[in-house]
Homo-oligomer: A and B are copies of this chain.
Amino acid sequence: MKLRAPYLIYFGDVADAAHAKTGLGLIQWRREQCAGQMRAPGCRVDGGIREMCIDDAAEAGVKSLLIGVAPSGGSISAAWIADLAAAARAGLDIVSGMHARLSSFPEIAAAARQSGVRLIDVRTPPKNIPVGTGEKRSGKRLLTVGSDCAVGKKYTALSIEKEMRARGWAADFRATGQTGIMIAGSGIAIDSVVADFLSGAAEMLSPSAPANHWDVIEGQGSLFHPSFAGVSLGLLHGSQPDALVLCHDPTREFLLGMESPQRFSLVPPRENIELCLALARRVNKNARFVGVSLNTSSLSESERAKLYDQYAEETGLPVADPIRDGVGPFIDRLETEQGE
Question: Which A residues are closer than 8 A to B by beta carbons?
Answer: 131-136, 190-196, 198-200, 223-224, 226-235, 237-238, 258, 261-262, 264, 275, 278-279, 282-283
Contacts and interface: CB of A to CB of B under 8 A. Distances in A.
A234 B228 CA distance: 7
Given A133-B227, A192-B194, A226-B282, 18 more contacts: A133-B262, A134-B226, A134-B227, A135-B261, A191-B194, A191-B196, A192-B195, A192-B196, A193-B194, A195-B195, A196-B228, A199-B227, A229-B234, A230-B233, A230-B234, A230-B235, A275-B278, A278-B278
A135 B258 CA distance: 9
Contacts of A200: 227
B282 A136 contact: no
Given A133-B258, A258-B133, A262-B135, A230 B199 contact: yes
Contact of A231 (B192, B195, B278): B195
Interface centre among A131, A224, A226, A230 (most CB of B within 10 A): A230
For this chain, the copies found in one complex come to 2
A128 to B, nearest CB: 15
29 contacts: A132-B226, A132-B227, A132-B228, A133-B262, A135-B261, A136-B262, A190-B195, A192-B194, A192-B196, A193-B195, A194-B195, A195-B195, A195-B231, A195-B234, A198-B231, A199-B226, A199-B227, A199-B228, A199-B229, A226-B238, A229-B237, A229-B279, A230-B232, A230-B234, A230-B237, A231-B234, A233-B233, A264-B282, A275-B275
A283 B64 CA distance: 44
Given A194-B193, A196-B191, A231-B198, A226 B261 contact: no
A264 B134 contact: yes
Contacts of A199: 226-230
Contacts of A261: 135
A27 to B, nearest CB: 28
Nearest to A191: B196
A131 to B, nearest CB: 5
A54 B101 CA distance: 43
Interface centre among A132, A192, A258 (most CB of B within 10 A): A132
